């Protein structure tokens, strides 16, 4: 049976054999990360393309339509066709833009979210870099998107874009707080910030954290949706109000980078949710007889969570900017603090001092 | 024109920080304005200070064109005044002309007109529901609304051959009798449609986000509504009975049972509720009308050339899908109206937009505009 | 009370969100609920009454158009988009020589068809793809609009259309 660790061993064994053949074994330490990054990038690109297709299909069937069905089987290659279109089309730029920020913003938006993938454990040992402060790292690095969006909004020199940028700044800063607070109970229980460590704790404990921490899960999903600027929290790009919001003036490849960034943000936050609350690569208890490899379980859970996020988008109306702030500060933050308090008390009662 | 309007908006406030007001042009090309309406919005951050609608981008001088067309030919232009609810406008003009010339349409024609006008009200409210939900960010109801509207349009096409600009309700009757299987198809549609209204209500009515966005937003007080000439479902949301079907029954509305839908809060949610309830009432009116339908002629006896008496004038009003639709005609003894004036609900409803959005957020402009059910060709004509 | 209401609001809100999600999920899971028609492949037959294209009826047996150039259609047209000419033939009957209909201004109101007392103009429902690449192609003459009535005539109540409605014209 393949597991994530086996695959990693086989591949790295093959790579080192190949290095030895070519005679660059000494450089292995330098080349390995490059290869990992390329593989990661390829995987994420394909997965995001699949997600875009999935979103279209999900929304289509929710609205009793068919969705893409022309390019490739079931329209699977539609995203590829769109990507080709976006990369080959003319890059229309506003004359009075602020040139350097205008150029940098989409790159930052893309890279910031993409970097989050580094610490996601797809399977036991199948992780690019298992940082011992993984959660902290993810929260920090995804927070960079606000800079990108604010920069994009400002440098486009467009009134709608600027409004979108400001909205985004207010929104992302507000929703970082409940996002972090909702994760705190789990860190308290497990005593580790490493994502793999949290999954291993769930394995030993024999339950997933969604069961004791359902409130935290709901808060996390909600704030993660807001962090990724997805509907019903998509006020920075609110189509019916601000046309395109911060990316009104972006076209071609630059727009594609914002677009990809949004989807990668969804993947990252859903992956974190799967890791923290749904047991990461652990098999689903009553389907354990299937003996699937861990990363397949992980992907199944990931797609389910992403479906939930998509269903939100295609069902709910959009909140207004001040209601969004109200919701964040008056509902999510008090609830998550209460959740921390209750978790801590219960834990103290059950296990006494120094429970680990 | 633009300079004039911009000077009214006055760029540059008196804030002590020396900040400028933020003037944003919503439209004429904008995803949320349902056509080519242009709004000059003066903002303070996200807060709206003033909204100035700029009209005329869709002005086609239909009223002037009508002065150069015979009365039957004018009907083809009334289709284009409110293309979402063309049957109602068809009938508004036909009713005014009939009153002007003392023509009485036969009973079957009247029942047919009622059926088609109420079906049209369903179609119009469905489109409105979708567009309103789309304005505040929910995209799925739009597709649901259009899905059911298609089936209504199928019924129209089956009967009169067109899906949008029908030219079906004529002076003195209707264009053509219904097909034998129309009644059964119509009842089948109503049976299919009624549970769908519950579905829309599940999707929207008590959705907390929808409630947040619409409850208490854009409140039209009864006084404000009457002073500004707001009419139709938008005024009924403020608790004022103003349904022309009840107040001055035309067709056979006095012979069918239906309730006038009134909500009291006057906010966007009330207007939404009024229209959702009206859909149910329309279904019941159609059912009753189908039962009362009896064979008979569909066209009154009329001279081949319709001429209005000299110095005759008439103002008649009906309840179109958007509110009171009035037609004012002056006859001069020829076959063409000397003057035709359409009093359209969208135009008078749009008047309160500035008062409703002052002090609210940008996003509320869309919610209020959507809840007023405005159609740009009816504003500009 | 305030605290209770706070939590009650959150729970009722969550519940109503779930109700909304159940509606969309129901459609997502019901793959047969698709209403899309894939147009170029799936062509729906239009109803017989469909006002999709105006045609000049051509009598194959007599080898001539039914039109006698009485100009009733041109008078009935609200947009004056019909132009036609006719001549008196040797046998004393009028025949149409040229007929031009500008479809760029035609609004398919149907008055010309109703006004015609000689069964010369008709709507057809088979031809509804009226888009063209050049604006000039919209100005059609009698050759482009020639249409031979099929062996099976339209349903009886369709033919009654001309008799039921009196000609609505004036000027």
Q: Min CA distance, C67 vs chain B (Å)?
A: 21
State the average pLDDT over residues B57-76. 88
Report the alpha-carbon distance of residue A3 to residue B301 in Å, rounded. Answer: 87
Share of chain B above pLDDT 90, in %: 8
Mean pLDDT of B90-119: 89
Q: Please tell me whether the peptide bond between B200 and the residue prior to it is cis, using omega within 30 degrees of 0.
A: no
Taking only the tens place, the pLDDT of each residue in A275-320 is 888 887 777 777 767 677 777 888 888 888 888 888 888 888 888 8
Please list every residue in chain A whose beta carbon sits closer than 8 Å to the beta carbon of residue C23: 315
pLDDT above 80 for A197: yes
CATH superfamily entry for domain B62-380:
Cytochrome-c3 Hydrogenase, chain B (1.10.645.10)
DSSP-assigned letter for residue A126: B
Confidence class of residue A2 from pLDDT cuts 50, 70 and 90? low
Tell me the nearest-neighbour CA distance from B302 into chain C, angstroms.
8
Mean pLDDT for B163-168 is 88
Which residues on chain A are in Cβ contact (under 8 Å) with C38? 66, 69
Task: Tell me how far apart the alpha carbons of residues A336 and A181 are, in angstroms, rounded to a whole number.
Answer: 6
pLDDT at site B328: 92
Structure tokens at A225: 């949706």
pLDDT of residue B42 exceeding 60, the answer is yes
Tell me the range of A16-25, B57-66, C138-147 where mean pLDDT is highest.
B57-66
Tell which of A164, A222, A320 to mutate to test the B interface (max B CBs under 10 Å).
A320
Distance from CA of C48 to the nearest CA of B (A): 8
How confident is the model over A146-152, as a mean pLDDT? 86
The answer to the question of residue A108 being in a domain is yes
Residue A94 lies in a domain: yes
Instruction: Give CA–CA dist B125/B142, Å, rounded.
Output: 11
Work out the number of other CB atoms within 10 angstroms of the CB of residue C89. Answer: 11
Backbone phi and psi for residue A348, each to the nearest 5 degrees, phi listed first: -65, -40
If you count residue pairs, one on A and one on C, with CB atoms under 8 Å apart, how many are there?
A: 39
Cα–Cα distances in angstroms (integers) from residue C149 to residues A34, A313, A332, C77, in the given order: 74, 53, 72, 24
Answer yes or no: do B24 and A160 touch at CB < 8 A: yes
Tally of structural domains, chain A:
1
Do C33 and A62 count as a contact with CB atoms less than 8 A apart?
no
The domain segmentation of chain B, as residue ranges, is: 2-54, 62-380
* Residue A356, domain member (yes or no): no
CB burial of B136-148 (b: ≥16 within 10 Å; e: otherwise) equals: bbbbbbbbbbbbb
Q: Closest Cα of chain B to A291: distance in Å?
A: 39
Residues paired with residue C148 on neighbouring β-strands, in sequence order? C58
pLDDT band at residue C83, thresholds of 50, 70 and 90?
confident
Q: Residue A3: what pLDDT? A: 64
The answer to whether residue A17 is domain-embedded is yes
Which pLDDT does position B16 carry in this prediction?
Answer: 52
Summary mean pLDDT of chain A? 82
Show the domain range for A316. 4-351
pLDDT for res A12: 76
Is some CB atom of chain A closer than 8 A to the CB atom of B205? no
Mutate to test the interface with C, among B208, B210, B307, B335 (most CBs of C within 10 A): B208
C76, C54 Cβ separation under 8 angstroms: no
> Which of B62, B64, B65, B72 to mutate to test binding with chain C, by most C CBs within 10 Å of its CB?
B72
Nearest CB to C47 within list B77, B158, B299: B158
pLDDT surpassing 70 at residue B3: no
Q: What is the 3-state secondary structure (H, E, C) of B110-146?
A: HHHHHHHHHHHHHHHHHHHHHHHHHHCCCCHHHHHHH
**Cα–Cα distance between B123 and B83 in angstroms, integer?**
11
pLDDT band at B205 (very low <50, low <70, confident <90, very high): confident
pLDDT tens figures, A243-281: 777 888 888 888 888 888 888 888 888 888 888 888 877
Query: Which residues in B lie closer than 8 A to residue A159 (C-beta atoms)?
Result: 22, 24
**Whether the predicted pLDDT of A188 surpasses 50:** yes
User: Are B299 and C166 a contacting pair at CB < 8 A?
Assistant: yes
Q: What is the mean pLDDT of residues A23-49?
A: 78
Paired residues of A232 in beta bridges: none
Q: What is the pLDDT of residues C105-144, one digit of tens each?
A: 888 888 888 888 888 888 888 788 888 898 888 888 888 8
Lowest-confidence segment of B136-145, B198-207, C147-156 by average pLDDT = C147-156
Label residues A75-99 b or e (16+ Cβ within 10 Å = b). bbbbbeebbeebeeeeeebeeebee
Peptide bond into A232 cis (omega under 30): yes
Q: Least CB-CB distance to A61: which of C21, C27, C38?
A: C27
On whether the CB atoms of residues B47 and B371 are closer than 8 A, the answer is no
**ipTM (interface pTM):** 0.80
Does residue A130 surpass a pLDDT of 80? Answer: no
Q: In the structure encoding, which two tokens stand for residue A172, read together?
A: 């992302």
**pLDDT attached to residue B309:** 84
Report how many helices (DSSP H) and strands (DSSP E) chain A contains, helices first. 14, 0
Report CB contact under 8 Å: B136, A316. no
Residue B181 CB: number of other CB atoms within 10 A?
Answer: 10
- Chain C neighbors of B307, CB-CB under 8 A: 170
Q: Is the pLDDT of residue C163 over 50?
A: no
Distance from CA of B176 to the nearest CA of C (A): 7
């Amino acid at each position: 049976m393949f597991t994530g660790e086996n695959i990693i061993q086989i591949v790295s064994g093959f790579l080192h054999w190949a290095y030895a053949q070519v005679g660059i074994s000494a450089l292995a330490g330098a080349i390995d990360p490059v290869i990992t990054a390329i593989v990661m990038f390829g995987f994420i690109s394909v997965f995001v393309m699949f997600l875009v297709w999935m979103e279209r299909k999900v929304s289509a069937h929710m609205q009793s339509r068919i969705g893409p069905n022309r390019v490739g089987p079931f329209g699977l290659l539609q995203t590829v066709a769109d990507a080709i279109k976006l990369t080959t089309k003319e890059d229309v730029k506003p004359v009075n833009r602020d040139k350097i920020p205008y150029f940098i913003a989409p790159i930052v938006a893309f890279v910031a979210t993409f970097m989050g993938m580094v610490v996601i454990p797809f399977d036991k040992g199948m992780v690019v870099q298992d940082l011992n402060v993984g959660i902290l790292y993810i929260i920090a690095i995804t927070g960079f998107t606000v800079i990108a969006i604010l920069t994009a909004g400002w440098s486009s020199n467009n009134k709608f874009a600027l409004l979108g940028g400001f909205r985004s700044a207010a929104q992302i800063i507000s929703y970082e707080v409940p996002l972090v607070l909702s994760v705190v109970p789990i860190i308290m229980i497990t005593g580790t910030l490493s994502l793999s460590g949290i999954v291993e704790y769930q394995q030993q404990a024999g339950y997933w954290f969604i069961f004791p921490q359902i409130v935290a899960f709901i808060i996390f999903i909600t704030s993660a949706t807001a962090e990724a600027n997805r509907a019903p929290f998509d006020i920075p790009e609110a189509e019916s109000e601000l046309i395109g919001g911060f990316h009104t003036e972006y076209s071609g490849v630059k727009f594609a980078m914002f677009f990809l960034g949004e989807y990668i943000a969804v993947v990252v936050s859903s992956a974190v949710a799967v890791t923290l609350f749904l047991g990461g690569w652990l098999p689903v208890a009553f389907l354990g007889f299937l003996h699937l490899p861990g990363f397949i379980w992980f992907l199944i859970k990931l797609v389910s969570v992403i479906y939930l996020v998509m269903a939100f988008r295609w069902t709910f109306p959009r909140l207004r900017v001040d209601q969004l702030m109200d919701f964040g500060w008056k509902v999510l933050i008090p609830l998550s603090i209460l959740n921390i308090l209750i978790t801590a008390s219960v834990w103290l009662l059950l296990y006494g001092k120094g429970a680990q | 024109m633009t300079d004039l309007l911009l000077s009214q908006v006055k760029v540059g406030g008196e804030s002590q920080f020396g900040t400028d007001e933020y003037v944003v042009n919503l439209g004429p090309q904008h995803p949320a304005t349902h056509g080519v309406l242009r709004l000059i919005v003066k903002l303070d951050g996200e807060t709206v200070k003033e909204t100035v609608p700029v009209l005329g981008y869709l002005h086609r001088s239909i009223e002037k064109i009508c002065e150069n067309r015979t009365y039957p030919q004018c009907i083809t232009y009334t289709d284009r005044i409110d293309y979402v609810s063309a049957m109602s406008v068809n009938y508004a003009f036909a009713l005014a002309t009939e009153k002007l010339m003392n023509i009485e349409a036969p009973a079957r024609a009247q029942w047919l007109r009622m059926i088609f006008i109420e079906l049209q009200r369903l179609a119009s409210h469905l489109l409105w529901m979708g567009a309103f939900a789309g304005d505040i960010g929910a995209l799925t109801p739009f597709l649901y609304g259009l899905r059911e509207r298609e089936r209504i349009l199928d019924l129209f096409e089956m009967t009169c051959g067109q899906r949008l600009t029908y030219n079906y309700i004529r002076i003195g009757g209707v264009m053509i009798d219904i097909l034998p299987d129309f009644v059964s198809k119509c009842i089948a549609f109503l049976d299919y449609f009624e549970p769908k209204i519950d579905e829309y209500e599940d999707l929207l009515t008590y959705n907390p986000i929808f409630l947040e966005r619409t409850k208490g937003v854009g409140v039209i007080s009864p006084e404000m509504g009457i002073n500004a000439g707001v009419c139709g479902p938008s005024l009924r949301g403020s608790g004022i009975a103003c349904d022309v079907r009840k107040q001055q029954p035309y067709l056979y509305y006095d012979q069918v049972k239906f309730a006038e839908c009134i909500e009291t809060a006057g906010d966007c949610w009330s207007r939404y509720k009024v229209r959702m309830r009206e859909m149910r009432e329309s279904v019941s009116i159609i059912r009753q009308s189908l039962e009362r339908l009896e064979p008979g002629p569909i066209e009154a006896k009329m001279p081949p050339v319709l001429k209005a008496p000299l110095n005759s004038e008439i103002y008649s009003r009906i309840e179109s899908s958007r509110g009171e639709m009035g037609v004012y005609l002056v006859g001069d003894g020829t076959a063409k109206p000397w003057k035709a004036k359409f009093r359209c609900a969208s135009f008078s409803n749009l008047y309160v937009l500035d008062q409703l959005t002052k002090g609210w957020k940008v996003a509320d402009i869309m919610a209020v505009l959507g809840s007023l059910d405005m159609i740009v060709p009816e504003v500009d004509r | 009370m305030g605290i209770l209401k706070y939590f009650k609001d959150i729970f009722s809100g969550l519940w109503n969100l779930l109700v909304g999600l159940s509606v969309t999920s129901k459609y997502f899971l019901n793959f047969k609920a698709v209403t899309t028609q894939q147009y170029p492949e799936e062509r729906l037959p239009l109803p017989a009454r469909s006002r999709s294209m105006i045609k000049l009826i051509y009598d194959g047996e007599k080898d001539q158009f039914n039109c006698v150039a009485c100009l009733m259609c041109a008078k009935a047209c609200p947009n004056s988009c019909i132009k036609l000419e006719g001549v008196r033939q040797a046998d004393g009957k009028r025949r149409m020589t040229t007929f031009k209909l500008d479809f760029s201004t035609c609004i398919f109101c149907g008055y010309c068809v109703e006004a015609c007392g000689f069964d010369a103009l008709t709507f057809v429902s088979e031809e509804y793809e009226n888009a063209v690449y050049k604006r000039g192609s919209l100005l059609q003459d009698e050759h482009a609009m020639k249409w031979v009535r099929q062996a099976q005539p339209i349903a009886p109540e369709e033919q009654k259309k001309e008799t039921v409605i009196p000609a609505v014209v004036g000027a």
